[in-house]
């Protein structure tokens, strides 16, 4: 049930399927299994092996041999512990912000615009439109907008919100802004899909049973669109916590906003492969724990 | 009203209510008063505006014009959750993400009633579904869902309960049982029930007052017997049971009755049972009021006689037999006869006469249409018989 959040909760047929069919099922599943083995399991095994490697015999930079050097992990946690926390904090904030922006937007498209299918498609295209421009270019454009001499900073300085020496680029603000901005479509689309199917007769029934607008939202609309919210938050949180573009100093970040993705990137290009691999594994575990807890909770029967 | 139940039912008053959807008028100038504590049935064919009327009362639809008063208070502009009204929806609308118990408790909890859980169980016991309290609506049968919908509304003891065909999905036995249940809840608590149905038998057995609706208007309203015995329009005469209708000119008027020329025969109708007293009128009589004779009866005062005619169809229905009789110049007559003897008293093809007592006739209000009206012209059997008759005629001619 845990990952039911991703599926259109259909009936669980697997348990009831007669034994005879399992043979067909295996054949049908084979391509998927092969694909998973090739693209997920194999790199993962390689990554784990790399993360325990130690420097090779000649002690040249970039030469490593297979070993069991668990100190790589100790080093990763010791040196980058703070960065892990920051990564988690930034991604979480970006996810929450994206949710707060996306839900009303998705509601507007999926419910309010229901009677105007043409407008519905148009606004939906607008949500996806940013994808037509390269992710890197869009992020660079924001860097220009937030530049020290740029319009936003000048304006905020003029009205006194920012001091004359203050700036935006390279701060937590711009990084979280970039993350939120870049992942909003991933949040909006699954929520839209859920809300578009929402049967408004349930909402009417709620009104008939003395629920005011707030109660109708919390007790009926939100629970019924929860699958979309769960998929959307996962599709935002997971890639955001691995993101290394927004927080990079070439884009919206600085040395003060380094995220785990940047560390992996930097260590890799400086040829510290085992350390880079260890950070990757740690990041994966660090993401997996809250995600599994979240999915398990939202998939459980008595969430609300 | 928070935290407490309504003491008793409330009056419902609709004043000049009109509802227009883009390009379609669903309700036209509807005036209706339902006294507190009464069981009111709204009866009508599909698409006549019954659900729309309920939605207007519940506040789920805004009237284009007119006012709605509940217990004397104008609620035209109140939101649904502010009205002391609960609805059993035609489509049930049970919350799919909550258990049956959660559904039934919902309204009570929103009103902050402390013993919500016990009351919900009690309501579920009433509809004999307490054993499935922990299930989801999707795990119930259609009839069970309908009973949950009923419990979910009734448990709130609203001043006004709206029921949109609440028993449509139940089998006959359960339906009778629920009808009794509903009736006893209604009289026990003194709630006002507005019950929508297109089952005329249900409307007649349960309601104090029945309103027959057609194309967004109320055609006639009254106690069930009154409506049945004295329909005022062709629509009511045909929708509520069956009728034999004839059209003709009024030829003379006596003290208590008037005589109408039907295919050359003078048929008498009581004056106070007729809506129109001059010109071309439509008159009628119920099939069970007709008596079939195999020989021409003595003409007596106070009895109308039609005939001779030919029996064209006989169908046995158990307690009674239905005869279709063709009298030349008249639409096909339907006669219901109690099965007092074994077997039908006349076979198809037999020559018969039909009679009825003058006081059983009624005169309708509508302007007769150019074509003569056929008894139950939406009744498939009549249509089939007429079609067969036409085909046979054609064959004879050929
Ligand atoms: N939202 C709407 N927009 C346009 N027309 C509507 C709308 N809702 C209902 N109607 C029309 O109003 C008329 C009355 O509908 P309503 O649902 O009240 O019928 P009903 O009497 O309840 O019929 P049934 O017995 O089939 O439930 C129908 O012709 C329907 O097509
Ligand atoms: Mg309806």
Q: Are A226 and A297 in contact (CB under 8 A)?
A: no
Is A26 within a domain? no
Is A232 within a domain? yes
B48 CB under 6 A from ligand 1? yes
A197: tokens are: 């199917």
A229 and B CB contact within 8 Å:
no
| Residue A101's CATH number | 1.10.3720.10
Whether B85 sits inside 8 A of A206 (CB atoms) is no
B136 and A CB contact within 8 Å:
no
Mean pLDDT of chain B: 88
Distance CA A225, CA B238 (A): 48
Whether B106 sits inside 8 A of A206 (CB atoms) is yes
- Give the residues across from A240 on adjacent strands: none
B122 burial type by CB count under 10 A (0-12 exposed, 13-18 middle, 19+ buried): middle
Local structure of A163: helix, strand or coil: coil
Please write the tens of the pLDDT for every residue from A202-248.
999 999 999 999 999 999 999 999 999 999 999 999 999 999 999 99
Angle at the Cα of B177 from the Cα atoms of B172 and B178, rounded to 5 degrees? 95
Please write the tens of the pLDDT for every residue from A92-106.
999 999 999 999 999
- Give the residues across from B209 on adjacent strands: B40
Distance CA B373, CA B58 (A): 38
Distance CA A125, CA A122 (A): 5
CB atoms < 10 A from the CB of B39, how many? 23
What is the average per-residue pLDDT within B182-192? 83
Residue from A87, A38, A61, A73 nearest A262 by CA: A87
Local structure of B80: helix, strand or coil: helix
Q: Which domain holds residue A174?
A: 70-303
Looking at A71-221, list the stretches that DSSP marks H as alpha helix, in order from N- to C-terminal side: 71-110, 117-128, 135-145, 151-158, 172-196, 200-208, 213-216
Residue from B24, B26, B94 nearest B56 by CA: B26
Strand order in the sheet with B39-43: B85-88, B160-164, B192-197, B39-43, B209-214, B217-222
B84 burial type by CB count under 10 A (0-12 exposed, 13-18 middle, 19+ buried): buried
Residue in this structure with the two tokens 């001619």, named with its chain if needed? B397
Is A37 within a domain? no
Angle at the Cα of B185 from the Cα atoms of B181 and B188, rounded to 5 degrees? 135
- Alpha-carbon Rg for chain A, nearest whole angstrom, is 23
Whether A209 sits inside 8 A of B79 (CB atoms) is no
B365: tokens are: 């209000």
Distance CA A303, CA A301 (A): 6
Q: Are B1 and B84 in contact (CB under 8 A)?
A: yes
What is the signed CA dihedral for B103, B105, B106, B111, rounded to 10 degrees? 170
B106 and A CB contact within 8 Å:
yes
* Residue B250 pLDDT: 92
Distance CA A265, CA A248 (A): 10
Is A297 within a domain? yes
Percent of chain B with pLDDT over 70: 92
Distance CA B214, CA B190 (A): 29
Q: Are A244 and A269 in contact (CB under 8 A)?
A: no
What is the signed CA dihedral for B232, B233, B236, B241, rounded to 10 degrees? 80
Task: Tell me the ligand closest to B45's alpha carbon.
Answer: 1
Local confidence band at B7 (pLDDT 50, 70, 90 cut-offs):
low
* Residue B377 pLDDT: 46
Residue from B245, B241, B239, B214 nearest B373 by CA: B245
Q: DSSP string spanning A85-123?
A: HHHHHHHHHHHHHHHHHHHHHHHHHHTGGGG-HHHHHHH
What separation in angstroms does the CA of A252 have from each of A133, A238, A248, A262, B387?
Answer: 18, 19, 6, 12, 83
Q: Atom 29 (ligand 1): residue with closest C-alpha? A: B47
Q: Are B27 and B61 in contact (CB under 8 A)?
A: no
The number of CA neighbours under 13 Å toward the Cβ of A164 is 0
Is A105 within a domain? yes
Q: What ipTM was estimated for this complex?
A: 0.80
Please write the tens of the pLDDT for every residue from B329-357.
889 999 998 887 777 778 899 999 999 99
Residue from B23, B24, B166 to probe ligand 1 pocket by mutation (most atoms less than 8 Å from CB): B24
Is A2 within a domain? no
Q: Closest partner residue to A205 among B79, B89, B156, by Cβ? A: B89
**Lowest-pLDDT range of A96-100, A157-161, B297-301, B379-383:** B379-383
The yes-or-no verdict on residue B157 having pLDDT over 80 is yes
Q: Closest partner residue to A205 among B93, B97, B156, by Cβ? A: B93
Whether B111 sits inside 8 A of A204 (CB atoms) is no
A149 and B CB contact within 8 Å:
no
Residue from B21, B41, B54 to probe ligand 1 pocket by mutation (most atoms less than 8 Å from CB): B21
Is A60 within a domain? no
Distance CA B398, CA B396 (A): 6
What is the average per-residue pLDDT within B183-208? 87
The yes-or-no verdict on residue B40 having pLDDT over 50 is yes
Q: Closest partner residue to B86 among A201, A209, A223, by Cβ? A: A209
What is the average per-residue pLDDT within B235-239? 92
Distance CA B151, CA B234 (A): 38
Angle at the Cα of A290 from the Cα atoms of A289 and A296, rounded to 5 degrees? 95
Burial A163-178 (b: 16+ CB within 10 A, else e): eeeebbbbbbebbbbb
Is A30 within a domain? no
Three-state secondary structure of B271-318: HHHECCCCCEEEEEECHHHCEEECCCCCCCCCEEEEEEEEEEEEEECC
Q: Which residues of chain A have pLDDT under 70?
A: 1-21, 57-62, 299-304
Count of structural domains, chain A: 1
Local structure of B198: helix, strand or coil: coil
Distance CA A32, CA A43 (A): 16
What separation in angstroms does the CA of B149 have from each of A302, B102, B118, B135, B153?
Answer: 22, 12, 17, 14, 6
* Residue B235 pLDDT: 92
Q: CB-based contacts of B147: which residues, under 8 Å, 6+ apart?
A: B127, B128, B129, B170, B178
Choice between B383 and A183, residue whose per-residue pLDDT is larger: A183
* Domains detected in chain B: 12-227 (3.40.50.300), 234-370 (2.40.50.140)
What is the signed CA dihedral for B312, B314, B315, B318, rounded to 10 degrees? 160
* Residue B5 pLDDT: 62
Residue from B17, B19, B26, B202 to probe ligand 1 pocket by mutation (most atoms less than 8 Å from CB): B26
Residues in chain A with CB shorter than 8 Å from the CB of B106 are: 206, 209, 211, 219
Cis amide prior to B308 (ω within 30 degrees): yes
Rounded to the nearest angstrom, the distance between the alpha carbon of B170 and the centre of ligand 2 is: 17
Local structure of A264: helix, strand or coil: helix
Q: What are phi and psi of B62, to 5 degrees?
A: -100, 135
The yes-or-no verdict on residue B380 having pLDDT over 60 is no
What separation in angstroms does the CA of B368 have from each of A264, B240, B272?
Answer: 90, 19, 19
Please write the tens of the pLDDT for every residue from B95-134.
999 999 999 999 999 999 999 999 999 999 988 899 999 9
**What is the position in ligand 1's atom list of the atom closest to the CA of B45?**
25
The yes-or-no verdict on residue B393 having pLDDT over 70 is yes
CB atoms < 10 A from the CB of A150, how many? 16
- Alpha-carbon Rg for chain B, nearest whole angstrom, is 25
Q: Closest partner residue to A207 among B80, B95, B152, by Cβ? A: B80
A121: tokens are: 């498609």
Distance CA B221, CA A169 (A): 76
* Residue A7 pLDDT: 41
Residue from B335, B326, B329, B327 nearest B385 by CA: B326
Parallel, antiparallel or unpaired: strands B280-285 and B291-293: unpaired
């Amino acid at each position: 049930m845990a990952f039911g959040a991703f599926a259109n909760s259909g009936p669980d047929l697997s348990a009831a399927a007669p034994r005879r069919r399992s043979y067909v099922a295996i054949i049908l599943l084979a391509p998927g299994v092969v694909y998973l083995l090739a693209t997920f399991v194999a790199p993962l095994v390689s990554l784990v092996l790399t993360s325990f490697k130690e420097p090779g015999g000649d002690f040249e930079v970039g030469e490593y041999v297979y070993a069991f050097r668990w100190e790589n992990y100790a080093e990763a946690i010791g040196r980058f512990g703070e960065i892990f926390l920051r990564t988690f904090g930034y991604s979480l904030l970006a996810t929450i912000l994206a949710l707060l922006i996306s839900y009303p937007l998705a509601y507007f498209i999926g419910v309010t615009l229901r009677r105007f299918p043409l407008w519905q498609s148009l606004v939906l295209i607008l949500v996806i439109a940013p994808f037509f421009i390269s992710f890197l270019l869009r992020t660079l454009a924001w860097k220009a907008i937030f530049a020290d001499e740029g319009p936003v900073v000048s304006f905020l300085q003029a009205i006194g919100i920012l001091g004359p020496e203050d700036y935006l680029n390279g701060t937590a603000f711009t990084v979280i802004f970039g993350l939120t901005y870049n992942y909003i479509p991933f949040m909006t689309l699954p929520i839209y899909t859920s809300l578009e199917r929402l049967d408004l007769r349930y909402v009417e029934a709620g009104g008939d049973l003395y629920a005011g607008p707030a109660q109708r939202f919390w007790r009926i609309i939100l629970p019924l669109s929860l699958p979309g919210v769960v998929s959307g938050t996962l599709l935002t949180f997971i890639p955001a916590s691995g993101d290394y573009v927004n927080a990079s100093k070439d884009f919206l970040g600085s040395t003060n906003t380094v995220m785990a993705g940047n560390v992996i990137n930097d260590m890799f290009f400086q040829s510290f492969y085992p350390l880079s691999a260890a950070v990757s594994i740690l990041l994966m575990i660090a993401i997996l724990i809250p995600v599994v807890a979240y999915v398990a909770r939202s998939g459980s029967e008595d969430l609300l | 009203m928070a935290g407490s139940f309504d003491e008793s039912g409330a009056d419902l008053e609709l004043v000049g209510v009109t509802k227009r959807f883009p390009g379609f008028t669903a309700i036209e100038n509807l005036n209706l008063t339902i006294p507190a504590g009464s069981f009111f049935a709204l009866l009508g064919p599909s698409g006549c505006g019954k659900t729309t009327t309920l939605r207007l009362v519940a506040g789920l639809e805004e009237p284009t014009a007119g006012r709605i008063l509940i217990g004397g208070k104008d609620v035209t502009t109140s939101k649904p959750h502010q009205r002391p009204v609960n609805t059993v929806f035609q489509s049930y609308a049970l919350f799919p993400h909550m258990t049956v118990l959660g559904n039934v408790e919902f309204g009570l909890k929103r009103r902050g009633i402390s013993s919500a859980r016990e009351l919900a169980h009690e309501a579920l016991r009433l509809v004999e579904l307490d054993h499935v309290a922990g299930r989801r609506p999707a795990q119930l049968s259609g009839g069970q869902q309908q009973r949950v919908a009923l419990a979910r509304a009734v448990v709130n003891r609203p001043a006004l309960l709206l029921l949109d065909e609440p028993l449509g999905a139940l089998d006959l036995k359960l339906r009778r049982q629920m009808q009794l249940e509903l009736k006893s809840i209604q009289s026990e608590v003194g709630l006002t029930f507005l019950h929508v149905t297109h089952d005329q038998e249900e409307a007649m057995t349960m309601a104090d007052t029945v309103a027959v609706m057609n194309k967004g208007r109320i055609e006639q309203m009254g106690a069930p017997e009154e409506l049945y015995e004295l329909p005022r329009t062709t629509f009511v005469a045909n929708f509520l049971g069956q009728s034999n209708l004839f059209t003709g000119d009024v030829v003379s008027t006596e003290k208590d009755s008037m005589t109408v020329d039907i295919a050359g025969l003078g048929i008498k109708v009581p004056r106070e049972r007729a809506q129109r007293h001059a010109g071309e009128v439509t008159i009628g009589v119920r099939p069970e009021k007709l008596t079939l004779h195999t020989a021409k009866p003595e003409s007596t005062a106070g009895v109308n006689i039609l005939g001779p005619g030919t029996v064209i169809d006989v169908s046995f229905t158990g307690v009674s037999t239905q005869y279709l009789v063709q009298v030349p110049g008249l639409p096909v007559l339907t006669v219901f006869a109690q099965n007092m003897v074994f077997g039908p008293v006349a076979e198809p093809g037999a020559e018969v006469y039909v009679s009825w007592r003058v006081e059983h006739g009624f005169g309708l209000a509508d302007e007769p249409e150019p074509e003569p009206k056929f008894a139950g012209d939406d009744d498939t059997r009549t249509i089939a018989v007429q079609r067969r008759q036409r085909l046979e005629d054609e064959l004879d001619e050929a």
